[in-house]
Amino acid sequence: MKETGARIKQLCELLNQHSYRYYVLDDPIISDAEYDKLFRELEQLENKYPELKQSDSPTQRVGSMPLEHFTSFKHEVPMLSLSNAMNEDEIETFDQQVLKNLEANSGEILYSVEDKFDGVAVSLRYEEGKFIRGLTRGDGFTGEDITQNLKTIHAIPLSLAINAVEQIPNVVEIRGEVLFPIEKFDKLNEDRVKSGQPPFANPRNAASGSLRQLDSQITAQRPLTFFAYGFGVLEGVQFESHFDSLHQAKAWGFKVSPTLSRARGVSELLALYRKAEANRENLPYEVDGLVIKVDSLQLQETLGFRQRSPRWAIAAKFAPVEEITKLLDIQLQVGRTGAVTPVAVLEPKRVGGVVVSRATLHNEDEIKRKGVLIGDQVVIRRQGDVIPAVVAPIVSARNGTEQEFVFPQTCPVCQSDLDKPEGEAVARCPNPSCPAKSHQRITHFVSRNAADIDGLGEKVVNLLLEQDLIHDISDLYGLTTDRLENLPGMGELSAKNLIEAIDKSKKISFDKFLYALGIRHVGERTAKILAQQFSDVNELRSVTEEQLLKIDEIGPETAKAVSKFFRDPEELLVIERLLNFGIEITPLEKPTDTKLAGKIFVLTGTLEKMTREGAKEKIESLAGKVSSSVSKKTDYLVAGEAAGSKLVKAQALGVKILSEDDFLSLLEEQ
Ligand code: IVH
């Protein structure tokens, strides 16, 4: 028995050691077959003597019993986020802010630099050197316990490798990112498509989907990996610098960013940023930038935190990414206003972390201007959340089989002749009952920022249209549970929930209602302006183009579209029916004469006491305007933390610059 115990312990140590060499160092010294043999020996002994099983046994990595649900846990030290620097200017601004906050007028800070991993953040807790719990980031304050799943990741040590001279930390929480390696991601998606499952959009989603499995045996089959980048709770060890702390993490058995290095002062920092950006495509996993951290932990402490992010670190994002792919086809989409938009169908290609297979080509002129032909190799580009775009064809790659796209004269859905007024780029379907238009108008009406009807996704809208249950938005309010519950895929409960959601949407503010109607040229902002100027729909019914034109910010096209809409008998009938169904529209209060009236604001940097959206709403509610770029017309620049190029431009143009506090006082004066 004693000997068996010793053998089990020895096997655990051996296997963990080989697993570390394979998964962390990428440098195995025994064959897979030899590993399997030792593993089976351990498995057999553990089955025979379960009481002798070690807490860090590698046999746990295959997964365990499925869970009912994940349990929430509070993070003892919150997992905050990072502010972004989008370019070199903004990195320089970050460096200046660090110096300023340290009350140093000049000097060179020592920074630590590493990859900004594009995966899933987790926190791993080790007590007396043993992995006891792993949490997702969650909202930063509370995460979910995904220990079972994390144990299946071979790059996460089940116990810390402790050198004889080192002390075992009482508690240490390792923070880092779980990643799905790119090459393996491509293979996973191939397999998923073959077996009829939808592919993951990008490696981050694949990592997150794999970690969210209640059955850890599924997670165990996903080749996830892990990189450490920081610490949460730390008891019983101390470090002087971030760089040292990551070297310790490495000694404990973790992988850290291979890019990890130090830079003194901003020029070295920028040189590293350029180098890393050029190298990003060579990494086996997705990164979206570098994370720059003040290296000294003492200075980090002096700098402290803003509300949600440290002052001592910044995520330096990389520039947009371009790729080359094939333009397979151009398809046409009919929008809610009848606009017929050509869409590029592309051979799927990953660009900046997302697989792109479609991109808008806007209109016929745009296709001509770009000179793209069907079958061309084209450059596509995207960054972050920005919609992917076709940049240009590669003319030199043509082989003569490419074909020009001929824009149709009739609507691809209802075959009505398209309208394309002189001087306008967009062709439109004029048929008010074109099914494509109804579909788009209804999905727009129910969307989050409009009537916000939960549970009415595109699929359900399609179903309701197909079953002839609705024809326009007003029909939604005539639906009943009886009618819905027998629809395919619906059922009693979802029918009830949907009717409740529809009922709830009956109370709607006037601006949201106007936006929801889907009037051409009336986005959220214009809807708000109209709602501030007019008290109800009746007032709008009699408004003339000239009256509308007098309103600041309403241009001739919008004026024309709005007055046309409220003179259209079909549209008026829909509104009347909505009102008859009991839609309750609450008017907006008109702003009084405020000092902010007509003043143009630009917001930049990170605000601490409010969100940017909140600041925008506040300004607009006081009749001010918010613009996205600084120009001579700008009245005020509100500069939050880490303000960048906009601040420089505003200074150059002599625009009045307000700190967040100045801005708050200005609001209070109103
Ligand atoms: S340090 C106090 N280092 O970026 C915050 N974060 O916006 C310390 N991330 O959700 C975070 N790579 O998951 C840090 N090398 C790195 C990182 C990194 C990726 C993620 C992290 C977090 C987000 C912060």
Three-state secondary structure string covering 160-180? CCCCCCCCCCCEEEEEEEEEC
84-317 matches 322-397 in fold: no
Burial 284-300 (b: 16+ CB within 10 A, else e): ebbbbbbbbbbbbbebb
> Ligand 1 centre and the CA of 311: distance in Å?
13
Q: Residues 615, 651: contact at Cβ < 8 Å?
A: no
The DSSP H or E segment spanning 497 is helix 491-504
Local confidence band at 319 (pLDDT 50, 70, 90 cut-offs):
confident
Class level of CATH domain 435-505: mainly alpha
Local confidence band at 595 (pLDDT 50, 70, 90 cut-offs):
confident
The token pair that represents 192 in the structure block: 């998923």
pLDDT at 591: 61
Considering only CA atoms, give the Rg of the chain. Answer: 30
* Nearest residue by C-alpha to atom 3 in ligand 1: 229
Q: Residues 382, 393: contact at Cβ < 8 Å?
A: no
The DSSP H or E segment spanning 445 is helix 435-446
**Helices 88-101/265-279 angle, 10° precision:** 140
CATH architecture classification, 322-397: Beta Barrel (2.40)
Local confidence band at 382 (pLDDT 50, 70, 90 cut-offs):
confident
| d(C-alpha 202, C-alpha 345), whole Å | 19
* Nearest residue by C-alpha to atom 12 in ligand 1: 116
**Homologous superfamily, domain 509-586:** 5' to 3' exonuclease, C-terminal subdomain (1.10.150.20)
The token pair that represents 421 in the structure block: 């007024």
> Ligand 1 centre and the CA of 7: distance in Å?
41
List pLDDT tens digits, range 465-514.
Answer: 888 899 999 999 999 999 899 888 888 999 999 999 999 999 999 999 99
State the average pLDDT for the chain: 91
CB under 6 Å to ligand 1: residues?
A: 80-82, 114-117, 121, 137, 177, 229-230, 291, 310, 313, 315
pLDDT at 164: 64
Catalytic residue list: 116
| d(C-alpha 295, C-alpha 224), whole Å | 29
| CATH number of the domain located at residue range(s) 2-61 in this protein | 1.10.287.610
Ligand 1, residue 137: give the atom nearest the CA.
10
* Nearest residue by C-alpha to atom 24 in ligand 1: 81
Torsion 603-609-610-616 (CA) sign: negative
> Ligand 1 centre and the CA of 286: distance in Å?
14
> Ligand 1 centre and the CA of 81: distance in Å?
6
| d(C-alpha 156, C-alpha 130), whole Å | 11
Ligand 1, residue 118: give the atom nearest the CA.
19
> Ligand 1 centre and the CA of 393: distance in Å?
37
* Nearest residue by C-alpha to atom 23 in ligand 1: 81
Domain boundaries, the chain: 2-61, 84-317, 322-397, 435-505, 509-586, 600-668
Confirm whether pTM is higher than 0.75. no
Local confidence band at 250 (pLDDT 50, 70, 90 cut-offs):
very high
| Most distant CA pair in the chain, distance | 96
Strand partners, 558: none
pLDDT at 386: 58
Q: Please give the backbone phi and psi of residue 590, each rounded to the nearest 5 degrees, phi first.
A: -80, 135
Q: What percent of the chain has pLDDT over 90?
A: 65
Q: Which of 83, 112, 117, 290 to mutate to test the pocket of ligand 1 (most atoms within 8 A of CB)?
A: 117
Mean pLDDT of 195-220: 88
Ligand 1, residue 120: give the atom nearest the CA.
13
* Nearest residue by C-alpha to atom 17 in ligand 1: 116
Q: Is 90 exceeded by the pLDDT of residue 196?
A: no
> Ligand 1 centre and the CA of 83: distance in Å?
10
Ligand 1, residue 176: give the atom nearest the CA.
13
> Ligand 1 centre and the CA of 314: distance in Å?
9
* Nearest residue by C-alpha to atom 13 in ligand 1: 121
DSSP string, 573-642: HHHHHHHHTT-EEEPPPPP-S-TTTT-EEEEESB-SSS-HHHHHHHHHHTT-EEESS--TT--EEEE-BT
Q: Which of 116, 139, 256, 293 to mutate to test the pocket of ligand 1 (most atoms within 8 A of CB)?
A: 116
Torsion 353-359-365-370 (CA) sign: positive
Q: Residues 292, 259: contact at Cβ < 8 Å?
A: no
Ligand 1, residue 230: give the atom nearest the CA.
1
> Ligand 1 centre and the CA of 82: distance in Å?
6
Range 101-105, long-range pairs (CB < 8 A, 24+ positions): 101/302, 101/303, 101/311, 102/299, 102/302, 102/303
Topology at the third CATH level for domain 84-317: D-amino Acid Aminotransferase; Chain A, domain 1 (3.30.470)
Mean pLDDT of 549-575: 90
Local confidence band at 192 (pLDDT 50, 70, 90 cut-offs):
confident
Ligand 1, residue 116: give the atom nearest the CA.
12
Q: Which of 573, 570, 338 is nearest to 434 (CA)?
A: 338
**What's the angle, vertex CA 74, arms to CA 71 and CA 76, rounded to 5?**
140
* Nearest residue by C-alpha to atom 22 in ligand 1: 81
Q: Is 60 exceeded by the pLDDT of residue 385?
A: no
CA separation, residue 432 to residues 63, 64, 561, 573 (Å): 57, 58, 15, 13
Topology at the third CATH level for domain 600-668: Rossmann fold (3.40.50)
The strand ranges marked E within 50-149 are: 72-74, 84-85, 110-117, 120-127, 130-136, 142-144
Q: Which of 247, 226, 248 is nearest to 237 (CA)?
A: 248
Strand partners, 627: 602
Q: Which of 75, 141, 291, 301 to mutate to test the pocket of ligand 1 (most atoms within 8 A of CB)?
A: 291
| d(C-alpha 622, C-alpha 636), whole Å | 15
| d(C-alpha 158, C-alpha 59), whole Å | 11
pLDDT at 574: 94
Range 511-515, long-range pairs (CB < 8 A, 24+ positions): 511/588, 512/449, 512/450, 512/451, 512/452, 513/451, 513/583, 513/585, 515/449, 515/450
Ligand 1, residue 309: give the atom nearest the CA.
2
